[in-house]
Amino acid sequence: MILHQLIDFELLRLIWWLLLGVLLIGFALTDGFDLGVGTLLPFVAKTDSERRVVINTVGPVWEGNQVWFILGGGAIFAAWPPLYAVSFSGFYLAMFLILAALILRPVGFKYRSKRDSYAWRNGWDWALFVGGAVPALLFGVAVGNVLLGVPFRLTENLFSLYEGTFFQLLHPFALLAGVVSLAMLIAHGAAWLTVKADAPAVVERARRFGITAGLLAMGGYALAGLWLAFGIDGFALVGPVITDGPSNPLLSEVTRGGSWLAAYSERPWIVIAPIMGFVGIGLAVRGLARGGEVSALLWSKLGITGVISSVGLTMFPFILPSSIDPRSSLTVWDASSSHLTLFVMLVSTVIFMPLILIYTAWVYKVLWGKVGEDELNSNKNAY
Amino acid sequence: MEFGIVELSRLQFALTAMYHFLFVPLTLGLSVLIAIMETVYVMTGRLIWRQMTKFWGTLFGINFVLGVATGITMEFQFGMNWSYYSHYVGDIFGAPLAIEGLMAFFLEATFVGLWFFGWDKLSKVAHMIVGWLVAIGSNFSALWILIANGWMQNPVGAHFNPMTMRMEMTSFFEVMFNEVAQAKFVHTVSAGYVTAAIFVLGVSAWFLLKDRHVELARRSIAVASSFGLAAALSVVVLGDESGYSATHTQRMKLAAMEGMWNTEPAPAAFTVIGLPDQAARETHYALHVPHVMGLIATRSLTREIPGINDLVIESEERVRSGIIAYDALMTIRAEREDTPQEVLDTFEEHGNDLGYAFLLMRYLDDPRDASEEQILMAANDTVPMVWPLFWAFRIMVGLGFAFIGVMAYFFVVTNFAGGRYPRWALRAAVAIIPTPWIAAEMGWFVAEYGRQPWTVDGILPTAMSVSHLSITSVALTLAGFIVFYTILFIVEVALLLKYIRKGPEQDVEETEEWMARHEHRLRTHDGKGPFAPPAE
């Protein structure tokens, strides 16, 4: 097949770096509110019918939303195999916790209403809390660790040796990143509840939690920026950068030193991302304070997009730097799939992604409207 | 067996994969059966079919959710426990997994929520289409997973790149239309259809025995037995196709499944039963049927099927050739662009055997230093343990033929004997509910255990594929999965039983309420459009 030569290897790598961002953002925007709603569940809803309202606001859509996560995993495997191989084996126990939490969630949604017992339902409510809060926190912790550099090295055969431990992941900066991620998704979930829940007490509590979480996310994000500026070394490629060479991280030289934020003097336009982050979350908080419903949700989406993009744009071209052996660091130019695979995957994405967006939008449209107690009583399939 | 990191990782993968496959076959089959039932409802407007759709739909939902939940583990486990595998073949293996998400899983998961929540929000036809989209999504999902798995059995359309130290794709077309993958796909989804058919048949038989919901049960048996008969035939035919392709793609697996130690003159005899003895390289007390094996496996009277002993000799040659390839690879990696042409040519010639040199890495770090004894050990390692394969295969095949009998019996009684099922037959139908799961798990066991010692046949040994993890970490997660999955399994089975016992009463009630609501709407609407009431 020579068709793939139509698009340069370099450009394909760049496109797949963007698509990686799109998938992570897609996940955070859709499944993000599910995670936030799960975290908020025990706190914003006190009675059983309130809790059922909260759960059923995401009831019909969480399954589809979660596919963004699965697809994210699959796309990293297909387009960035070294990233998939190094990060998931390195973060082994953290990944196990995320998986366990995410397995609890579907089961909790589906099984909670199948028995009419307080202990049963309350138990599943806390399972849904864990299933929401743990992944939301750990995703942030993982991103924090990536910015810090991950303690792995590659052997000459490209076997990955991870030399850290689970508790090393809990560096204060990484924890801060975890808090930002959790707070941001709680605010997002709160905004969703104000739009979808037809239960005034729930909406009122969600508004208050959402405002606090949004402010916390903004404060934490600002603090993390300062920390990056003054407390954490960045990484840089040394020598001429070959952008279409073989995907072998050991073929390039990397140094540690300087600041990640140097990226902002090299590419000043990327400042748009953190601005979007602050403005989006700030206006979402204002929207929540005014009881502004849909606008708060949309602003929150903009804010999340800004925050996630800012991490990627700051680190470019790095995707997984190594703290103990900078040469092993994975970058956009040396950790991708082959030219042909990237092309095949791009073609599949171009065909299916628009279809996915269209039918997902259609499903949301069909299900549009508030979820209240009346609706739950009339639908025997409700959770 | 000594439990090192490789054994623990294999155990964890086997456990989580086989557990996942407890839920998948029922999802595959029941999604189609339910879509068929809903189609009958839409076409005839008879409310009993709506109740059937909803009743089986509830059971489908309880099962579906665990399939989804345990599938999450599968998507990430390659990176977690099989890091070198992920690096080495991710360029090919990752693509079908990602396309599965894009093309199939998104479809299935997005519409399954709408199916459950959309009864009042969609027209009858639109709701039925949503049901079909769920069924199509789950079946396409199986297609891409089996393309990925098929590549591990028969790695076509790829070559080794010395600069990146991994396999890279050369033809997506070949990967997609891999003959092994295509046969496996139809075989596996048909097995899912049989599973669902036996499940529906068994539960309905239980209702008939209790004299409950007779109308629903009879119609369900009618659908399940005709659907199941076609599926059971398809499983066996495509299983045979898989065996046929194994004669040129995975000869060692085939020989091990059959306990065939020596090459026999064509056409070879089929061993119905016997006791394979790995140490003596012999199958004791074997009961042979002359010629049958040769006919099934080669579809000819003249082609020979190689036995295990001859294949080991072949492996030994390939190990030696692999060492030459490894030596050339080391030079290429050191010299890069300055590699002399003759070294490149040597690698070109022997590169296909590189994986056989990796078999030596269990015994020493550099395959080039291997002793004669180690080379023989590596060649012997290419023989999987025979007796588990031999038996698992026979259990699967035996059950497969039995399913044809069961389905044919119920099909005949339903259509030609007025549906007067004897009580013993109904009791038997209840008793055999677990058997399709046993057959399906045996099938996976044969496919995956029979591929050992490789993760990718002839390319990458299992022992080399693992992540660099501590035994404690893997032991911890293995224990975690066992505890967690056991609890979920108990909860799932308890809920399924609870809803089966409850029967479709709430669906009947719901259908009546729904009718009442529609009558109200009929007065406010003009009676046309999406809220038009059913024909009955």
Verify whether the Cβ–Cβ distance B90 to A67 is below 8 Å. Answer: no
Give the domain range for residue A182.
7-232+339-373
Q: Report d(CA B146, CA B103) in Å as an integer.
A: 14
Q: Report d(CA A14, CA A333) in Å as an integer.
A: 9
Closest chain A residue by Cα to residue B495: A114
Residues of A in contact with B117 (CB under 8 A): 59-60, 367, 379, 381-382
Q: Report d(CA A61, CA A106) in Å as an integer.
A: 11
Verify whether the Cβ–Cβ distance B75 to A64 is below 8 Å. Answer: no
pLDDT at position B523: 44
* Reduced DSSP (H G I as helix, E B as strand, rest coil) percent helix, strand, coil of chain A, to 5: 75, 5, 20
Q: Does A360 touch chain B if contact means CB atoms closer than 8 Å?
A: yes
- pLDDT tens for each residue of A233-273: 999 988 888 888 889 999 888 988 888 998 899 899 999 99
Q: Is the pLDDT of residue B517 over 80?
A: no
Verify whether the Cβ–Cβ distance B164 to A67 is below 8 Å. Answer: no
- Tell me if residue B456 falls in helix, strand or coil: strand
What H or E segment, with its residue span, contains residue A208?
Answer: helix A200-231
Verify whether the Cβ–Cβ distance B102 to A367 is below 8 Å. Answer: no
What H or E segment, with its residue span, contains residue B126?
Answer: helix B124-153
Q: Report d(CA A184, CA A180) in Å as an integer.
A: 6
* Length in residues, chain B: 536
Q: Report d(CA B63, CA B83) in Å as an integer.
A: 31
Residues of A in contact with B500 (CB under 8 A): none
- Tell me if residue A254 falls in helix, strand or coil: strand
Mean pLDDT along residues B247-260: 85
Least confident stretch, A74-78, A204-208, B241-245, B323-327: B241-245
Verify whether the Cβ–Cβ distance B69 to A106 is below 8 Å. Answer: yes
Q: Which residues contact A160 (CB under 8 A, 6 or more apart)?
A: A82, A85, A86, A89, A90, A152, A153, A154, B83, B84, B87, B467, B468
- pLDDT tens for each residue of A120-170: 899 999 999 999 999 999 999 999 999 999 999 999 889 999 998 888 899
- pLDDT tens for each residue of B75-112: 999 999 999 999 999 999 999 999 999 999 999 999 99
Strand partners, B159: B168
Window 249-308 of A: residues touching B by CB (8 A cutoff) are 251
Q: Read out DSSP for A284-310?
A: HHHHHHTT-THHHHHHHHHHHHHHHHH
Residues of A in contact with B118 (CB under 8 A): 60, 366-367
Q: Is residue A211 in some structural domain?
A: yes
- The tally of domains found in chain A comes to 1
By Cβ distance, the residue of A1, A78, A99 closest to B171 is: A1
Q: Report d(CA A150, CA A163) in Å as an integer.
A: 9
Q: Chain centroid to CA B41: how far?
A: 31
**Interface predicted TM-score of the whole assembly (ipTM), two decimals:** 0.91
Q: Report d(CA B179, CA B238) in Å as an integer.
A: 11
Least confident stretch, A334-338, B366-370, B432-436: B366-370
Verify whether the Cβ–Cβ distance A100 to B467 is below 8 Å. Answer: no
Min distance B330 CA to chain A CA atoms (Å): 10
Other C-beta atoms closer than 10 Å to the C-beta of B211 total 8
By Cβ distance, the residue of B83, B102, B110 closest to A359 is: B110
Q: Which two tokens stand for residue A340?
A: 């042909």
Mean pLDDT along residues B306-311: 89
What H or E segment, with its residue span, contains residue B175?
Answer: helix B172-176
- pLDDT tens for each residue of B233-244: 999 888 878 777
Verify whether the Cβ–Cβ distance B97 to A356 is below 8 Å. Answer: no
Closest chain B residue by Cα to residue A69: B72
Q: Is residue A89 in some structural domain?
A: yes
Q: Report d(CA A71, CA A58) in Å as an integer.
A: 20
Where b means 16+ CB within 10 Å and e means fewer, B6-34 reads: bbbbbbbbeebbebbbbbbbbbbbbbbbb
pLDDT at position B117: 86
Q: At B267, which amino acid appears?
A: P
Q: Report d(CA B335, CA B339) in Å as an integer.
A: 5
What H or E segment, with its residue span, contains residue A238?
Answer: strand A233-238
Give, in order, the Cα–Cα distances in Å from B432 to each of B18, B343, B402, B508.
20, 61, 10, 28
Yes or no: say if B454 and B88 are a contact pair by the CB < 8 Å rule. Answer: no
By Cβ distance, the residue of A85, A106, A353 closest to B83 is: A85
Q: Is the pLDDT of residue B521 over 60?
A: no
What is the phi/psi pair of residue B165, to 5°? Answer: 55, 45
Q: Is residue A237 in some structural domain?
A: no
Q: What is the DSSP letter of A371?
A: B
Q: Is residue A364 in some structural domain?
A: yes
Q: Is residue A327 in some structural domain?
A: no
Q: Which two tokens stand for residue A357?
A: 């967006």
Verify whether the Cβ–Cβ distance A74 to B109 is below 8 Å. Answer: no
State the SS3 of A126-174.
HHHHHHHHHHHHHHHHHHHHHHHCECEEECCCCCEEECCCCHHHHCHHH
Q: Is residue A266 in some structural domain?
A: no
